Each structure stands twice: as C-alpha cells, then as structure tokens.
Amino acid sequence: MQKIRVHNFSLSADGFGAGPNQDLNNPLGIGGMAVHEWFFPTNVFQRMIGNAGGETGLDNDFALKAFINVGACIMGRNMFGPIRGNWPNDEWKGWWGEEPPYHCPVYVLTNHAREPIVMKGGTTFYFVTEGIDIALQRAKESAGSKDIQICGGVKTIQQYLKAKLIDEMHLVISPIILGSGERLFENTDLVQLGYKVIEHKFSGKAMHLIISKS
C-alpha cells in the first residue's frame, strides 16, 4: 500500500529542523548541519558522495530505508535552494550537483513557475505553483504503487502534517541545541491530528522515532 512519508528528518533536542538565516553557505541555516551529524559517517551517505566504506549499524539501517520503495518526492523551495522571489535565471539546479540522490521525480513547491530540470540518475525537478494538493496529486501519478516522500523543509512538512496527509514520519533527534530557527511542531498538536510514536531506538548518536497516523 502506498504511503506518504517523511524519512531521515533530523531535529535538534529543542525541536528545530533548521537553524536561522539560510543562505548559500548555510543550507540548513546557521548551525543547522549539526542535526545531521549522525548521518554523515554512515555507509549510505559515504556512497552518496562517492566514497567507499562508512559506518554500518542502526543509523545506517534507518538511513537506508529512505531510499527504498520511493517513487516520487516533494520538497519546498527553501530546501531546493536559497534563492527567493522570481528565478533570476536557470543556473541554480539544487545543492546536490549533477546527480542528485533522489533518482525519481521531485516536485518543488514554489510561488514562481520554472521549467522542469532533468538531472543525471533519473531525478527531474518539477516546479509546482498550485499548492500542496496538486503537488501530491502529481507525485502520486508519478509514483504508481511506490511511496511518496515529503523531504522537507520544516514548513513543507508542517503543511502536509496539518492536512493529515502524512502516514508515517521517521524523525531523528540529535543531541544538540540550536536555540532558534524553524521548529517542526510549532503550533501543532500531534495527538489531536491522530499521530503516535510506534517505535523508538537510540543508536548512541541520535534517537530514531517512528511516528504513525492512527
């Protein structure tokens, strides 16, 4: 059965999924990259950047699941890049180089139209100006029977969460404090929305939580 899910989304101990002041030098805001320290040593990440080796174990096991049975992805414009307003040109194609790690259609939520970008490895970025429902509809058409992953950032996940459209979330709580930035559950009552924790495991570097809709 197809699921709408979030996977490998990292938070600080005080609930922030990104730090403040995102820019070209700070893709996740100031200090935000630290929430992913559990991920960088894994075999999954090391292979993504062309290296051999990397750590196996619990963190790697969870990281790997993000790439299994995914037929389409959805992300916000802020996750795609730091550019705001009208697209000045077609030069910016994301943070990930010529071959992004998605290998499937990716629907980018934006207020400013842009032609699709075909990348190496099967990733095509489509820019959706009609909102979260149309993006999800197009993702479902692309994904077939496979899952759809809501990649982020915080505001995009919040929109789908408050609309009760997310079936399952894998959240990773990193042992750091950011103090400010974008808090994932700002003004969000997960109990009222019908979500509960169904699994939790501690790897030594982070706490992995699986939150599911009842």
- Domain membership of residue 89 (yes or no) is no
- The predicted pLDDT at position 214 comes to 82
With a CB cutoff of 8 Å and minimum separation 6, the contacts of 208 are: 58, 59, 62, 170, 171, 172, 199, 200, 201, 202
Helix 132-143, helix 154-162: angle, nearest 10: 90
Could you tell me the end-to-end alpha-carbon distance of the chain, in angstroms, rounded to an integer? 16
Please answer whether residues 111 and 93 qualify as being in contact, where contact means their C-beta atoms are separated by less than 8 angstroms: no
- The predicted pLDDT at position 109 comes to 98
- Domain membership of residue 102 (yes or no) is yes
Domain range holding 205? 4-17+29-83+96-213
Tokens of 199: 């699994």
- Domain membership of residue 135 (yes or no) is yes
- The predicted pLDDT at position 1 comes to 87
Please answer whether residues 179 and 15 qualify as being in contact, where contact means their C-beta atoms are separated by less than 8 angstroms: no
Phi (first) and psi of residue 120, to 5 degrees: -70, 155
- The predicted pLDDT at position 74 comes to 98
Give this prediction's pTM.
0.96
pLDDT tens sequence across 26-49: 999 999 999 999 999 999 999 999
CATH number at residue 110: 3.40.430.10
With a CB cutoff of 8 Å and minimum separation 6, the contacts of 152 are: 6, 9, 17, 75, 76, 79
pLDDT less than 70: residues of the chain: none
- Domain membership of residue 50 (yes or no) is yes
- Domain membership of residue 91 (yes or no) is no
- Domain membership of residue 195 (yes or no) is yes
Give the chain's domain count. Answer: 1
- Domain membership of residue 103 (yes or no) is yes
- Domain membership of residue 49 (yes or no) is yes
